[in-house]
Amino acid sequence: MNFRQCAIAFLTALMLVAVSVAGNAQWTQVVGVPAVDISSVVVRENTIYAATDSAVHISTDGGGVWSRSATLPGSPWYIDALTVFDGKIFAGTGGNGVFVSSDNGGSWAALSQGLSGPGSHHITSFAERNGMLYAGTGGAGVFRLQGNTWVPFGDLMGNVAGSVWFLRTKGDTLVAGAGGGGWVWYAPPGATDWTGVLVAPFQGFEFLVTSMVEFGGGLVAGSTYGVFRSTDGGASWLPSSSGLPGGRQIYLTAGGSNLYGVAQAAATRFYSSPDGMSWTFVEQTTFSYAQAVHGNRLYSARLDGLWYKTLPTSGTGEPEVQPDRITLEQNYPNPFNPVTNIGFRIGDYGLVNLRVYDVLGREVATLVNEERPAGSYTVSFDASGLASGVYLYRLTTGGMLQTRRMVVVR
């Protein structure tokens, strides 16, 4: 769950009562969960957890029957993060720290010892790695649970990235979207601090990387600047926002055969993508704080309760990804001045695009943009007129994408 937006308050809720009927028509309200502000929803195995401001509603049968937990003590400021770890439910609140239940919500105990610094008691996200639980906070970076005490992990504060928008794992690597400068931070196994990768340069206003999912053979990140995609494990990123609106925070959820982009402003606009590159508007709904997928249902935690809709599926539930159907080779020579050769192979007839971008994500050359039959090809690229530096070249065809780097030297 990402930060609750302070600007969205009670008056906003009044405005959203009249949101489009077409959007609500495709959604079903969950019976058994109150029609109030649902601040987070997560799925762990076959159990769904949905939180209000001070309690957690739990379904162990896939959303049919729900039970309500005991009320968290101390009138917390919403439950913005939920997880299950070591057989216990952990609830991260918007200002009162962490609470834990070892009896499936029957009772709660405060677990905030060690959380220190501005924003440390605003818990935005949890992640588990190698039997350890980590918590992202709204200003004090990341903490790791050791026994019953939270211990700071790394120094995101020192990197001016103390506000953690999401925290997750990719394999054994801990990944955080933090700060407002457009960075994603990585902590591989054994690391005691974070290494940052710039998704895109600062462009005049705060750049929050709000979410990341694995989809279509790559990584896709949502942000306040739209969507970006990486095919090299997160080492480099290219814009992937065709069809998405500007000026909205984008949160991503993978479900069924599609990737869903949730664009947040006063209301929520859902977009879908089969490949993480091009997006289609689906509908507008009441403001949604979080989404989760269970089976063939997409759940939405909204201002007016917990809702779900049935997702389209395609056999395995995931888009067919055939990375062996396209191959993008490393250019040669590399580094080069001014001409290099780029080889690629495609497995099916179709529209082929091969483009070159600078590190700011701006297109500097189109080398191929036409339909071609299956086969192997080599094209030349003349970089005369370009400055020395690193450039990216990207091959796309049939909903698949590969990216590599090359270096121009003068």
Q: Say which residue, 171 or 107, is predicted with more confidence.
A: 107
Residue 144 has pLDDT above 90, yes or no: yes
Residue 318 — pLDDT band, cuts 50, 70, 90?
Answer: very low
CA–CA distance, 154 with 193 (Å, rounded to integer):
4
Evaluate whether the domain defined by 323-408 bears CATH number 2.40.37.10: no
The residue among 203 and 118 whose pLDDT is bigger is 118
What's the CATH class of domain 10-310? mainly beta
Please, what sign has the CA dihedral across residues 225, 154, 41, 138?
negative
- What is the C-alpha separation between 144 and 174, in angstroms, rounded? 11
Other Cβ atoms closer than 10 A to 377: 14
Count of CB atoms within 10 A of residue 367's CB?
Answer: 17
pLDDT of 35: 92
pLDDT at 105: 95
Instruction: State the number of CA atoms in the 13 A half-sphere of 149 facing the CB.
Output: 4
**Residue 53: predicted pLDDT:** 87
Question: What residue segments make up the domains of the chain, in order of their start?
Answer: 10-310, 323-408
Provide the sign of the torsion angle of the four alpha carbons 266, 272, 273, 279, taken in this order.
Answer: negative
How many Cβ atoms from other residues are within 10 Å of residue 245's Cβ?
A: 15
Which H or E run contains 216?
Answer: none
pLDDT at site 43: 92
Tens digits of per-residue pLDDT, 338-391? 999 999 888 877 889 999 988 777 889 999 998 888 888 889 999 998 999 888
Average pLDDT in the 187-200 region?
92
Decide whether 10-310 matches 323-408 in CATH topology.
no
| Rounded-to-integer distance, Cα 392 and Cα 340, Å | 13
- 234 Rama class: left (phi>0) / alpha (psi -120 to 50) / beta: left
What's residue 327's pLDDT? 83
* Cα–Cα distance for residue pair 300/298, rounded to 1 Å: 7
- CA 360 centroid distance within chain: 21
Q: What is the pLDDT of residue 366?
A: 94
Question: What's the pLDDT at 325?
Answer: 62
Residue 69: pLDDT over 90: yes
Confidence class for position 317, pLDDT limits 50, 70, 90 = very low
Decide if pLDDT at 397 tops 70: yes
pLDDT tens for residues 7-45?
333 323 333 333 333 334 489 999 999 999 999 999 988
Tokens representing 165?
């928008």
Q: What is the pLDDT of residue 62?
A: 83
Closest CA to 49 of 6, 122, 105, 4: 105
Mean pLDDT of 143-164: 94
Residue range 329-341, pLDDT digits in tens: 888 898 899 999 9
pLDDT per residue as tens digits for the range 291-313: 999 888 899 999 999 999 988 75
Q: Residues in the chain, how many? A: 410
Q: Which structure tokens are listed for 408?
A: 């121009």
Residue 271 has pLDDT above 60, yes or no: yes
One-letter identity of residue 340: T
Task: Report, as an integer, the average pLDDT of 75-86.
Answer: 89
- The one-character DSSP state at 244 is P
Rounded to the nearest 5 degrees, what angle is found at the Cα of 241, between the Cα atoms of 239 and 244? 155
| pLDDT at residue 313, as a whole number | 52
Q: How confident is the model at residue 323 (pLDDT cuts 50, 70, 90)?
A: very low
At residue 270 the predicted structure's pLDDT band, cuts being 50, 70 and 90, is: very high
In the prediction, which pLDDT does 77 show? 74
- Cα–Cα distance measured from residue 309 to residue 204, given in angstroms and rounded to the nearest whole number: 37
- Token readout for 247 is 């000026």
pLDDT of 383 reads 94
List Cβ neighbours of 407 (8 Å cut-off, separation of 6 or more). Answer: 334, 335, 336, 389, 390, 391
Q: Averaged over 63-71, what is the pLDDT?
A: 94
Judge if pTM exceeds 0.75. no
**Residue 134, beta-bridge partner list:** 127, 144
Q: Is the pLDDT of residue 275 over 90?
A: no
Between CA 13 and CA 315 the distance in angstroms is 39
Q: What is the chain's mean pLDDT, rounded?
A: 86
